Structures are given as structure tokens and as C-alpha cells.
Chain A
Amino acid sequence: MLLAGCAASGRGGPRPAAMPATLLRGNAAPASTFTLQNTGSDTLVNLALAWAERYMEIHPEVRISVTGGGSGTGIAALINGTIQIANASREMSPEELETARKNGITPVRFTVALDAIAVVENPENPVKGLTIDQISDMYKGKFSRWDQVGGEDRPVVLLSRESNSGTYVYFLEQVVRKGDPKANALFSPQTLLMPSSEGITAEVRQNPNSIGYDGLGYVTPDMKKVAIARRAGAPYVLPSAASVRDGSYPVSRPLFMYTAGQPTGQVRTYLSWVMQDGQELVKELGFVPLPESGK
């Protein structure tokens, strides 16, 4: 019940297909196998799997089992002491930190990759850049036509991911509510909730009225990325690895791995590998690698 409650407050991943996946090393594993349990964010699950696979090729003595379930699930498992590493697409909440403290656990946070959300539109749409305020007003339903933000005389069709995807919650908090934790704005009820990234891609590709958003890694070349300005007058920045890393692109977030206390032994070796050599896998999976200096 505790676990379920935590998972409810956590964020799921952007892909409904991110089923719990477990990697098991074949019978070639030596007798002195070290098993590492890694659970959490569905946003991170594919990347964590790729890391685990590559790492086990290099270190056959280590077995890494990766499962998704959402950031909340991973953090709850870490607090309960059932896993060594929790993946999270958000920081731990004060309640979670409190529970951890009661269990005698001091969570330690590592930034392992960066994630950016791109706002996309049909290539025919002449609108090049939008401010956070304009996007927020559009998604709250205040603007219903493109000419209100300097575009053509067309209705706006709002596209979003489903409400239990991590991307949905992140976009809501950072863009629609403009990062204000006290705001309680919601997506307009007119917003079309698409069950998959493919749903957003298909509609944006063929409908010049549409505006959508998705993880930068899932944006295909046939959609137009919108440059975003923090506020009116600020420079419009297109999402890219460079603009995410230097912090100029406003809608980006770090992805974390949490350990219970300072990691030691194999866990520590694995984490430092993830943050160094493992970074070459990050780009392949559509995320943004850490800046060189951050290693």
C-alpha cells in the first residue's frame, strides 16, 4: 500500500510501452556475481537498460536488473532498501526525504543525463518562436487562434501526451504553470491527449493548426521545432544539445539516479562509468549528454 501510494504521486514515463523489463545475464556469469537492482522513472528506463547492457558486456561479473514503474516507485523502493539505485526524472519530494530519514537513509543524488522538451508545430506554420507566456496561454485555452501569436488566421489545435506521462506533468509545471509551484492552472479541456509520441507526430505532420510537445529525442525532422523565449524580450532559443547544456533553452531538466548513502564498491564504479563512458549512449537514445566539465 505504501508503495502504491508513492507511485501515485510519482510521474510515469513518456512512453506507455515502457514495461518493466529485466535484464538477466545468461549462464556465462561467473560464480561471484554482484547483482545490482535499478528501478524507477519510465523516462529513463530505456537509457538505463542500454547502460546496463553495455556495462555487463564489459563487466561480466556484474548483473544489473533494470525495471521501470515511475520515479515514485523507484524512490519508494530505495527508501525501503530493496534496490541500490533509483532512477528519477524529478528531485525527491520533501515527504519522500522525510520518509527516507525515518528509515535511516540519506539519499544521494547524481545527475546522469539531461532531457529537454521541444514544442513542435507543422512545417507550414510560419510562427518561429513563442514565449513561455504565450505557450502557457495557448495551453490554458486563452488563445484559440494562431493570429493571436503572430501566425496565420487558423484555429489552434492543442496536442498533449496522456495525463500520466512524466512529460505531461513536467510540461504542465514548467510551461503551463510557468514553474510557479503555487499555480493551479490546468491544460484546457480542449487539449487532445495522445496516447503515444506517434499520435503527436502523425497529427503535427499533417495538420497545420496543431501545436504539440514531446521529448527532444522523439522529435522527427518532419516537425518544426519552436524557438522558446523565457519572457517577452528575451532571446528565442531553439532546443538543441548545445542550448540545453548551457542552460539557455528554458524547457529542459536533469535526470537523476539516487543511491542510499554515498555509493561504495560496484555501485560506485557503475555510477562513475555511467557519468563518463556511459554518456556516449545518451545521445543515441534521444537525450542530451552531460557537459564535459560536469564529469
Chain B
Amino acid sequence: MSSAASREVERQGAPRPLAGRAFGAGEFAMEALIRVLGFSTIGFVLLIFIFLLREGVPVFFEVPARGLFSTLWYPTFKLFGTLPLILGSVLVTVASIVIALPLGVATAVFVREVAPRWAREVLKPVIEVLAGIPSVVLGFFGMTYVAPLVRVLLGAPTGLTAFSGALLLAYMALPTIISVAEDALDAVPRGYRDAGLAMGATRWQTIWRVVVPAGRSGILTAVMLGMGRAIGETMAVMMVTGNAAVMPTTLAFLFKPVRTMTATIAAEMGEVARGSTHYHALFGIGIILFVLTFFINLAAAKAIFQKRRRGGLR
């Protein structure tokens, strides 16, 4: 059979993709393996989720809701108010996106629309390398250089502030934002640019009024992914935000120490007694964090879905 197939290939005089029964068994095994691996990933995520629920849900029974959403986090003294931590995370994350969004989109526009070909080929891999810097290294850099700089330049009592954390997070979210936004701009058809220029628009007007709006759902996805990265980041944040569990009620708290959910889990999990209320509370924070990240990712997925439906143009 296989020889017949090859004869047929010879007769047609054109190489054909792998075909025939000889490859059938191997291909079946390969497909099955990939399928098992694919499903097991989903399975592991489910298991992690079940574990998170099992360890974290008890806290919602052990601590009354009013205690859980109060403003004092002193776990050593049975005060488990998670509100300062949630708001701390939100403040740092939102601030980081406010910093990273204009920078990221501008860089993506530059790389995709303005930079000459050779520069683009250097810039893209360099930006992707930035994503690989371990966060503990950035955290240490932040602690020894960024925080003192923030203190001296802004005249804050200490440089260990939400703002320092936001700066580092923005830096960490940038590679994601740039590379996804760049892909979004790349998907805008050439005809849009040509049409813009043909209408007498300048290059800047074409980019700003036509190309960027056309890629906006992709840019939105980029922001959501960057946000997902930022809210879950732990090490660097723990090292530079000062970890004071205050209620960040005004914008002035941007320049004061805050405590995030991730830093709390990381700092306290190491020495907490298994099965204690504090232990459950830390997993409870994990659940809150999971839900927040889930909604951010859901929003990102929705943006992608809309983009597909509209052909990536609107």
C-alpha cells in the first residue's frame, strides 16, 4: 500500500504531505498523547482550584463577613480584615496600568508603524527579553534604587510606596502590553493605512485616528493581560510597597506604603500553622485574588472574541 502510494507520488511528480498507513499508528499515538496532555492541564487547573476552595472556604465560616471585610489586618491577633489588602492590590495594579498603558501603546505604535525595519527587528526581541527578568531581581533593584529615588525626588517620608510598586509592575507589564498591542496593530489591514493617507491625512493622523482605533480591541486585550500579570505579581511588590496594611482611601495613598494581597500571602504563608484560621484566611485571600484575576481574564477573552467576530477591524 505504501509503495503504491509512493508510486502515485512519483507519477504526479509532486511531494505530498505524509500520508499512508505506515504513519497512521504513530500519528494516532501522538494525537492521543497531545490530547491527554491537553486535558490533564485542564485537570490540574481544576485540582488547584478545588484545593484553593477546600483550604480557603472555611474562613468564610470561621470569620463573620463583617470581620472579613473590615479595615484591620492583624492576623496574629485574630483580626482578618481583608479590605486594606484588596484596595492595596487594586491601587497598585490600576496605577501600574495607568503608567504602562500610554508607554506600551506608544512603543507598540513606534515599533509597528514608525521604526524602520532593522530597528523593529532589534526592538522586538529586546522587548521580549525584558519579560524574562526574574521579579525578585527587579524587586531588589526597586528596593535599593527605585525606592530611595522616589523618596528623595517626591519628598515622601519613605520610598517604599504603592507608587514604587506600580513603577516596577508597569515595567513588568510593559513587554506583554507592547507585544500584544503590536500584534493587534499588525492585524489592521494595509488598506486602512493606504486609505487614510490617500484621503490626505498625515502619517500621524492615520496612525492616531485610523490604525490605533481599528486595533483597539486588541489593545484592550493587551491591557487586560498586562493587568492580570500585575495583580498577581508578588515578590517585587512585597519588596517595595512597604506592606503596611492601611486603608488607601484617597489618591494621596499612592505615595504611602500599602499592603497587597499577594505580598500578604507570600509573607505570612511560610510560618502559619496549618489548619488555623489564619491559614484559611490566607487561602481565602487567594480565592478573592483568583476571582478578580478570573474576571480580568474573562474581560480579555471577551475582547478577543469580539475582535474575532468583527474580523479584528473595529
Contact = CB atoms under 8 A, between A and B. Distances in A.
A195 B267 contact: yes
B158 A193 contact: no
Contacts of A157: 157-158
B268 A8 contact: no
A16 B151 CA distance: 27
A209 B157 contact: yes
Contact of B273 (A5, A162, A169, A210): A5
Interface stretch (B18-26, B100-108, B225-233, B235-243): B235-243
A250 interface: no
Contact of B158 (A8, A16, A209): A209
Interface string B180-191: 000000000000
A283 B302 CA distance: 62
B244 A189 contact: yes
A207 B159 contact: yes
A193 B238 CA distance: 9
A196 to B, nearest CB: 9
Given A163-B75, A164-B76, A194 B243 contact: yes
B238 to A, nearest CB: 6
A168 interface: yes
Contacts of A156: 157
A70 B151 CA distance: 36
A209 B238 CA distance: 20
Interface stretch (B54-62, B193-201, B206-214, B274-282): B274-282
Contacts, number: 96
9 contacts: A4-B274, A8-B272, A70-B273, A164-B271, A190-B256, A191-B244, A192-B244, A195-B267, A202-B144
B304 interface: no
Interface in A189-222: 189-195, 199, 202-203, 206-207, 209-210
B160 interface: yes
Contacts of B72: 189
Interface string B232-268: 0000001100111111000000001101000100111
A31 interface: no
Contacts of B242: 192-193
B149 to A, nearest CB: 10
Given A164-B76, A165-B271, 5 more contacts: A1-B275, A8-B272, A162-B268, A193-B242, A209-B158
Contact of A169 (B76, B143, B157): B76
B148 A207 contact: yes
Interface string A88-116: 00000000000000000000000000000
Contacts of A192: 158, 160, 242-244, 257
B259 A190 contact: no
Contacts of A239: none
A190 B268 CA distance: 18
A193 B239 contact: no
Most central of A4, A154, A206 by chain B CB within 10 Å: A206
